[in-house]
Chain A
């Protein structure tokens, strides 16, 4: 079976459209990151410090009641989230509300035990993170992202050519930005798992791009005289079915995580799904057109000199 026969799509020619779309995505992503740096986004307590608890009640419980109960016991700044599946309640208290690690969780337990005596609960998980650790994690994460991007650029630059390295890096950063943009727009929590997903997708998107680049390089060697744009377009078309098939299998696997993996990795798998989609898009519509752009510019310069 074949999804696609021989295609002949002018990907490079559509670059102006894709550049506009990608710029919008990238700008949104940058805004998201700036908001994160300012602490204005929905930061997970991994980074901001604070307390998060997941409680499972015996009977359904309304968020409003839960909030009133907590307010009554002096826990004012609290973020509640209901998990429909099985009377679960997710409680997030940021670091400024509770004093020391250990105190807010106890306070939450005390207030629910006294206010909802007829609705027993179990604590399914508690995470408490002091502000100093949050700072350390944030720094470590930034360093990690920087190192991995650098490693990637170096590898691609060594395997191909500096222009390809730029194309691949821009496409990778684009995908990371897109994930930040979506998570920021939907006010999803930015936590360590999300960063893990971003780095995973960076690897995936790069793999995707490298496959396209490999074919371009191969065709460049075969055909030295052809127009740059044609060679690039042909190469992308040649590997298009591979790109789609692989993205589809990864998407299927990530989708099964998203649908059946449970609430703990729900957002993580959502990030993976988004990443697979943008990663596929960027390897076709962003990475190669950038290289063409750079190549053409270099050629034009040579032409001026000659």
Chain B
């Protein structure tokens, strides 16, 4: 046995062993019970294009979050001023970044200015100005606070969406922030993408508002503090949708953030699902007060500006539980319960990218990709064997090693295999023999010069070395760039390509060389099959 062959074979063997070790979870459908602890358990991740699933990019309307905060400030100021007996004409958000207070007299305005300074030190106050004979003043949110609010809104939206998806039950979802106001959501292998998308996209702002029965919805004008919202109901027999308008007080009495739980229950009388909700202590107290003060009146349960139901309050409800009924199916009720439990989004989200691949297409793609790969391997093997005879077999051995190592590396790194990734592997099959072709052509040249097989072999490897390095590095440069900018499938392609290139360097310089060395080490071989 010549020197240096032992450790090289050892290295190749260890890598083969490792590759199969990491591939076992992928290849064996059910792992035996002793396969636990330190041994790898992760399968090769399949990209969404191969197993089906949905890739969403959401844009958070962060401006709305700022506006929402200002609305709360306006409501809070109304309450504070009222409780202090400071009379005002109007307090409301004006524009996207300020709250305007309109007061009756300068004296009140001075008190209010002081009060604002203490209560909202972070906001900028405008000087008092005249507005239609009244005294007005603006409270403007600072640029920094607005940015901060926007940032928090995206953060919060991310958490809320994560909660909803967890409860919806998707295995291995990916939910992450991208850039300033984008959120990427990947849901592998889901069967009902539309339902998931609706669940994620729903703002889920739950509000309880009093119905103004003294004003007709068809009235020409409605007061500033009221609004018209509609209750949608679906006729279970015909499926026809009808809308009933209601005039509601704009101000909401209780909001969804005071909930602690929401569950689907079935109404025993009508066998209809409804959502039972539980309030926290503050919510329970408010609910108790509101119902006590308004017995005999109607109040509306509003979700995202749609009225779910507008029941008459029959009696004071204490204890902190209530129910939302409507035309629910089992599914819609459970989705509503999920969004209520997970909380409202701080700002509406818009889906700006949605890539959904059905599971059948995914399976189809895997099958075809593997088929193409197999045929590619067979074609190259046949060609190399005919063209380079026994040496061609050695090159084929290197190529097979390449594929095994690459699959093992993909599994070990937890990389994701995508359809372009399979394409990259197939392409590598063609390119992996390139190093060997370079070497073989050199060897043929050397043999033609009359060198012995052993000498020709060494010279061939020596002279081809730099060329092989150069060609691999150039490919690696493009792969790195693809990885850097690529998303989804393109990234998968870059991963397979760059891993393949690095592995190929090893197999061509160590793997096939050692095989030749084993046969030619004595230097006595007279002929080489090449």
A and B physically associate: yes
The interface of chain A, by Cβ under 8 A from chain B, is: 1-3, 54, 56, 100-102, 105, 122-130, 132-133, 137, 140-141, 143-144, 147-148, 151-152, 155-156, 159, 192-193, 195-196, 199-200, 202-204, 206-207, 210-211, 214-215, 218, 238-239, 241-242, 245-246, 248-257, 259-262, 264-265, 268-269, 272
A249 to B381, CA, bound (A): 9
Q: Which chain A positions have C-beta within 8 A of B471?
A: 206-207, 210-211
A204 to B139, CA, bound (A): 62
Q: For chain B residues 458-477, which have a beta carbon within 8 Å of chain A?
A: 463, 466-467, 470-475, 477
Q: Which chain B positions have C-beta within 8 A of A261?
A: 368-369, 371-372, 423, 426
Q: Which chain A positions have C-beta within 8 A of B35?
A: none
Q: What residue of chain B has the Cβ atom nearest to residue A141's Cβ?
A: B485
Can you list 15 A-B pairs with a CB-CB distance of less than 8 A? A127-B355, A143-B485, A144-B486, A151-B481, A192-B487, A192-B489, A200-B424, A210-B467, A214-B470, A245-B437, A246-B437, A253-B427, A257-B427, A260-B368, A262-B372
- Whether B426 lies near A152 (C-beta < 8 A) is no
Q: For chain B residues 395-451, which have a beta carbon within 8 Å of chain A?
A: 419-420, 423-424, 426-427, 429-431, 433-434, 437-438, 441, 444-445
Q: What residue of chain B has the Cβ atom nearest to residue A193's Cβ?
A: B420
A-B pairs under 8 A by CB, number: 225
A156 to B473, CA, bound (A): 10
- Whether A129 lies near B353 (C-beta < 8 A) is yes
Q: What 1/0 mask marks residues of chain B from 495 to 519 whose CB sits below 8 Å from any chain A CB? A: 0010000000000000000000000
A193 to B486, CA, bound (A): 10
Given contacts A129-B352, A257-B372, A257-B376, contact A147 B433 (CB under 8 A): no
Q: Which chain B positions have C-beta within 8 A of A265?
A: 369, 419-420, 423
Given contacts A203-B474, A249-B380, A252-B430, contact A260 B375 (CB under 8 A): yes
A261 to B427, CA, bound (A): 12
Given contacts A129-B353, A249-B437, contact A151 B430 (CB under 8 A): no
Interface of A is mostly: helix
Q: Which chain A positions have C-beta within 8 A of B426?
A: 253-254, 256-257, 261
B134 close to A (CB within 8 Å): no
Given contacts A199-B481, A214-B470, A252-B383, contact A123 B372 (CB under 8 A): no
Q: Which chain A positions have C-beta within 8 A of B251?
A: none
- Whether A252 lies near B438 (C-beta < 8 A) is no
B482 close to A (CB within 8 Å): yes
- Whether A126 lies near B350 (C-beta < 8 A) is no
Nearest CB on B from A98, distance (A): 12
Q: Which chain B positions have C-beta within 8 A of A207?
A: 431, 434, 471-472, 474-475
- Whether A246 lies near B433 (C-beta < 8 A) is yes
- Whether A211 lies near B467 (C-beta < 8 A) is yes
Q: Which chain A positions have C-beta within 8 A of B355?
A: 125-129
- Whether B353 lies near A256 (C-beta < 8 A) is no
A244 to B521, CA, bound (A): 31
B120 close to A (CB within 8 Å): no
B490 close to A (CB within 8 Å): yes
Q: Which chain A positions have C-beta within 8 A of B475?
A: 203-204, 206-207
A101 to B376, CA, bound (A): 39
A102 to B365, CA, bound (A): 25
B44 close to A (CB within 8 Å): no
Nearest CB on B from A210, distance (A): 5
Q: What residue of chain A has the Cβ atom nearest to residue B371's Cβ?
A: A260
- Whether A250 lies near B364 (C-beta < 8 A) is no
Q: Which of A144, A193, A203 contacts B489 (CB 8 A)?
A: A193
Q: Which chain B positions have C-beta within 8 A of A130?
A: 59, 350-353
Q: Which chain A positions have C-beta within 8 A of B479?
A: 203
B478 close to A (CB within 8 Å): yes
Nearest CB on B from A110, distance (A): 12
- Whether A252 lies near B467 (C-beta < 8 A) is no
Nearest CB on A from B526, distance (A): 20
The 7 A-B residue pairs with the shortest CB-CB distance, nearest first, are A253-B430, A130-B352, A262-B368, A250-B430, A203-B478, A144-B485, A148-B481
B379 close to A (CB within 8 Å): yes
Q: Which chain A positions have C-beta within 8 A of B357?
A: 124-125
Nearest CB on A from B391, distance (A): 11
Q: Which of B356, B376, B389, B430 contacts A125 (CB 8 A)?
A: B356
- Whether A249 lies near B466 (C-beta < 8 A) is no
- Whether A133 lies near B358 (C-beta < 8 A) is no
| From A133, A155, A196, A239, residue with most partner B Cβ within 10 Å | A196
Q: What residue of chain B has the Cβ atom nearest to residue A245's Cβ?
A: B437
Q: Which chain A positions have C-beta within 8 A of B486?
A: 144, 192, 196
Given contacts A124-B357, A196-B482, A261-B369, contact A155 B431 (CB under 8 A): no
- Whether B420 lies near A254 (C-beta < 8 A) is no
A53 to B144, CA, bound (A): 43
Nearest CB on B from A274, distance (A): 14
B82 close to A (CB within 8 Å): no
Given contacts A122-B360, A203-B479, contact A242 B490 (CB under 8 A): no
B96 close to A (CB within 8 Å): no
Q: Which chain A positions have C-beta within 8 A of B473?
A: 155
A148 to B380, CA, bound (A): 30
B390 close to A (CB within 8 Å): no
Nearest CB on A from B466, distance (A): 6
B67 close to A (CB within 8 Å): no
- Whether B364 lies near A262 (C-beta < 8 A) is yes
A218 to B465, CA, bound (A): 13
